């Protein structure tokens, strides 16, 4: 029965095509294999998982300035079904399906209504999280105003709607994002209200990027968060800086990132910063040790000193190397540190349709973490993506 509703939508789209509307069909098939060793405090000794994500995209414009976009997705883990004859896995989803109305009333106002991916700023707080085999999308409405250099987005997303307990189960995300961009700079400001029956979080974030001197890129970000979470006052902060030096062949990066943790001396207040719905994989190491902040690492906050080399092309292969030095905000007399992660990745664009990528990571533990079967954990991955 679940698949039947997608058949109905497909029939609708085919009917639109038959009626003379231009239909643009694209898609993506992405395979990724991951091998983890001594991971998650050595609970995972040696595990290999293979993921497949298949997307079929359809876009058409039935009338001028009105567009419809549909993205069907099947996301699966190899072997999740009980046998080779089992076709019962419920993996098919309408990942995106929305209506775009542009130049509303002959003005520079545009509206998106439906389910869609959202990326703001550097995706620190709201991002599509493309590394994830499903990816993140939101249900709601966005009103946009755009001109040559400025854009303003006012959004209202419904994250959960409980019909059984509407007063305690509903969750909503409201906010506004402003972006100012030019040839050598980008600045964005994001204000968010994330609320349900137990949480009322208000977050204000400023991100900016500037290229200067023909060889330097400076990035900075600062965010404040307050409200109430589970009956406790919330006051937290995030800030980061990054400096890159580049030429035509290589880019060198150095940066520092700070997410505040909870101070045990203030039991009436929680200072742990919550990155909400960001693409954490691109910031805190490819092994995703800190992808579920603040639940882990135990409200202790995070300091991340990172050094890297990117944009290095050898024989048509793009290479990147990053070193992360992770520490908690509050340390004991033993100077407890989280550890050091080394990430190496490559990407090869085989042709206009096929891309190969992969990498390896090694995490060396500090005193804060316990890996009883060894002093390090590791991860290997290989991915093949076909887009058409």
46 vs 100: CA distance, rounded Å: 46
| Burial bucket for residue 205 (CB in 10 Å: 0-12, 13-18, 19+) | buried
Q: What pLDDT, in 10s, does the model give residues 314-371?
A: 999 999 999 999 998 877 655 567 889 999 999 999 999 999 999 999 998 776 555 4
The pTM (predicted TM-score) of the whole model is: 0.89
**3-state DSSP of 246-289:** ECCCCEEEEEEEEECCCCCCCCCEECCCCCCECCHHHCCCCCCC
With a pLDDT cut of 70, the percent of the chain lying above it is 85
Token duo for residue 261: 């943790």
Query: With 70 as the cut, is the pLDDT of residue 372 above it?
Result: no
Q: Specify whether the CB–CB gap between 115 and 104 falls below 8 A.
A: no
Q: In the chain, what are the domains?
A: 2-387 (2.40.160.100)
40 vs 45: CA distance, rounded Å: 9
259 vs 253: CA distance, rounded Å: 20
Please give the backbone phi and psi of residue 104, each rounded to the nearest 5 degrees, phi first.
-60, 125
Helices (H) and strands (E) in the chain, counts: 3, 19
Lowest-confidence segment of 9-23, 86-100, 126-140, 273-287 by average pLDDT: 9-23
Query: With 70 as the cut, is the pLDDT of residue 69 above it?
Result: yes
Report the b/e string of 339-361 with b at 16+ CB within 10 A.
Answer: bbbbbebbbeeeeeeebebbbbb
Among the listed residues 18, 82, 77, the one whose alpha carbon sits nearest the alpha carbon of residue 49: 77
Q: Specify whether the CB–CB gap between 217 and 270 falls below 8 A.
A: no
Is the N-terminal amide bond of 294 cis, ω within 30° of 0?
yes
In this predicted structure, what is the pLDDT of residue 296?
A: 63
DSSP state of 78: T
Residues 6+ apart with CB under 8 A from 254: 242, 243, 306, 307, 308
126 vs 117: CA distance, rounded Å: 9
Residues 6+ apart with CB under 8 A from 353: 386, 387, 388
């Amino acid at each position: 029965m679940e698949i039947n509703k997608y058949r109905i939508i497909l029939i609708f789209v085919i009917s639109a095509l038959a009626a003379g509307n231009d239909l643009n069909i694209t898609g993506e098939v992405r395979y990724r294999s991951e091998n983890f060793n001594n991971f998650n405090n050595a609970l995972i000794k040696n595990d290999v998982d293979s993921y497949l994500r298949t997307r079929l995209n359809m876009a058409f414009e039935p009338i001028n300035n009105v567009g419809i976009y549909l993205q069907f997705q099947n996301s699966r883990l190899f072997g999740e079904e009980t046998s080779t004859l089992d076709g019962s896995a419920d993996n098919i989803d309408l990942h995106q399906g929305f209506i775009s109305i542009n130049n509303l009333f002959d003005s520079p106002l545009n509206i998106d209504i439906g389910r869609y991916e959202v990326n703001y700023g550097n995706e620190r707080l709201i991002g599509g999280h493309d590394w994830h085999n499903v990816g993140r999308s939101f249900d709601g409405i966005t009103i946009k105003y755009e001109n040559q250099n400025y854009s303003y987005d006012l959004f209202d997303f419904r994250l959960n709607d409980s019909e059984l307990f509407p007063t305690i189960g509903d969750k909503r995300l409201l906010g506004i994002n402003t972006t100012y961009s030019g040839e050598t700079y980008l600045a964005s400001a994001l204000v968010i209200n994330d609320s349900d029956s137990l949480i009322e979080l208000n977050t204000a974030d400023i991100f900016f990027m500037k290229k200067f001197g023909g060889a330097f890129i400076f990035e900075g970000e600062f965010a404040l968060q307050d409200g109430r979470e589970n009956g406790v006052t919330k006051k937290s902060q995030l800030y980061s800086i990054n400096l890159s030096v580049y030429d035509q062949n290589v880019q060198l990066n150095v940066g520092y990132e700070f997410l505040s943790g909870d101070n045990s001396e203030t039991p009436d207040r929680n200072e742990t910063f919550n990155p909400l719905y960001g693409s954490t994989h691109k910031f805190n190491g490819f092994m995703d040790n800190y992808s579920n902040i603040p639940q882990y690492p135990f409200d202790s906050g995070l300091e991340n000193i990172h050094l890297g080399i990117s944009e290095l092309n050898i024989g048509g292969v793009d290479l990147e190397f990053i070193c992360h030095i992770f520490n908690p905000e509050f340390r004991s007399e033993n100077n407890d540190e989280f550890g050091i992660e080394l990430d190496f990745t490559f990407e090869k664009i085989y042709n206009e349709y096929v891309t190969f990528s992969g990498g390896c990571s090694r995490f060396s533990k500090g005193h804060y973490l316990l890996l009883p079967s060894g002093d390090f954990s590791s991860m290997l991955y290989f991915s093949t993506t076909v887009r058409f």
